[in-house]
């Protein structure tokens, strides 16, 4: 499971303006609806439902909201770099400025977990996050997100 399997250049939001967690999730649902062809409200409802179970703010300014939809045919991702950090009820109580939304078919099972693990590993890399925070160019963000781990290590 590679990040390129999840996102495309069209699914990167380089400068999301959101004043709250709810607004950020609404904006991400809107972008996801454009990419997947699914209804924005259905996506937003799944994300809110997941947040009620516990925050997807994983710490260090990062959130990985995710959910499963019955009508979805494959895994999709949307990445957003926020213009200004927002409160996200993160586990470390720090505001969030990098969000990677992950949507999966209800039947995804292990693939959903593999994708979550892959995104989590990528965003745990402090140098990657610094670079992501350092640019508001969509193409540069996409390149940073999809660069192979081997080439990052070089």
Q: How many residues does the chain have?
A: 154
> 148 pLDDT band (50/70/90 cuts)?
low
Question: What is the CATH classification number for the domain harbouring 51?
Answer: 3.40.930.10
Domain annotation covers residue 139: yes
- Are the C-beta atoms of 69 and 42 separated by less than 8 Å? yes
The b-or-e profile of 51-85 (16+ CB within 10 A means b, else e) is: beeebbbbebbbbbbbbbbeebeebbbbbbbbeee
* Residue 112 a catalytic site member: no
Give me 69's structure tokens: 């939809």
| pTM for this entry | 0.94
One DSSP character per residue, the chain reads --GGGT--GGGEEEEE--SSHHHHHHHHHHHHHHHH-S-HHHHHHHHHHHHHHS--EEETTEE--EEEETT--S-EEEEEEEEEEE----TT---EEEEEEEEEETT-THHHHHHHHHHHHHHH-HHHHHHHHT---HHHHHHHHHS-HHHHH-
**CA-closest candidate to residue 46, choices 23, 27, 69:** 69
Look at residue 154 in the predicted model and tell me its pLDDT: 39
Residue-wise pLDDT tens digits, 5-57: 999 999 999 999 999 999 999 999 999 999 999 999 999 999 999 999 999 99
> Which position among 18, 38, 57, 66 bears the catalytic label?
66
Domain annotation covers residue 131: yes
Domain annotation covers residue 152: no
Measured distance CA(96)–CA(76) in Å, rounded: 21
For residue 74, the enclosing domain spans 3-147
Domain annotation covers residue 120: yes
Domain annotation covers residue 125: yes
Residue-wise pLDDT tens digits, 82-102: 999 999 999 999 999 999 999
Into how many domains does the chain fold?
1
**CA-closest candidate to residue 82, choices 9, 15, 11, 12:** 15
Find the radius of gyration of the CA atoms of the chain: 14
């Amino acid at each position: 499971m590679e990040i390129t399997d999840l996102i495309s250049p069209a699914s990167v939001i380089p400068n999301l303006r959101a004043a709250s967690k709810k607004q950020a999730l609404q904006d991400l649902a809107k972008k996801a609806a454009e990419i997947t062809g699914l209804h924005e409200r259905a996506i937003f409802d799944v994300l809110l439902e997941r947040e009620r179970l516990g925050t997807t703010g994983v710490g260090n300014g990062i959130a990985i909201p995710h959910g499963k939809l019955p009508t979805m045919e494959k895994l999709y991702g949307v990445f957003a770099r926020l213009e200004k950090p927002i409160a996200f009820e993160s586990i470390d109580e720090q505001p969030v400025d990098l969000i990677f939304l992950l949507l999966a078919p209800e039947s995804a099972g292990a693939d959903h977990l593999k994708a979550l693990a892959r995104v989590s590993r990528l965003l745990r890399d402090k140098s990657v996050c610094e670079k992501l925070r350092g640019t508001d160019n969509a193409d540069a963000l996409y390149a940073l997100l999809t660069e192979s781990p081997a080439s990052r290590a070089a």
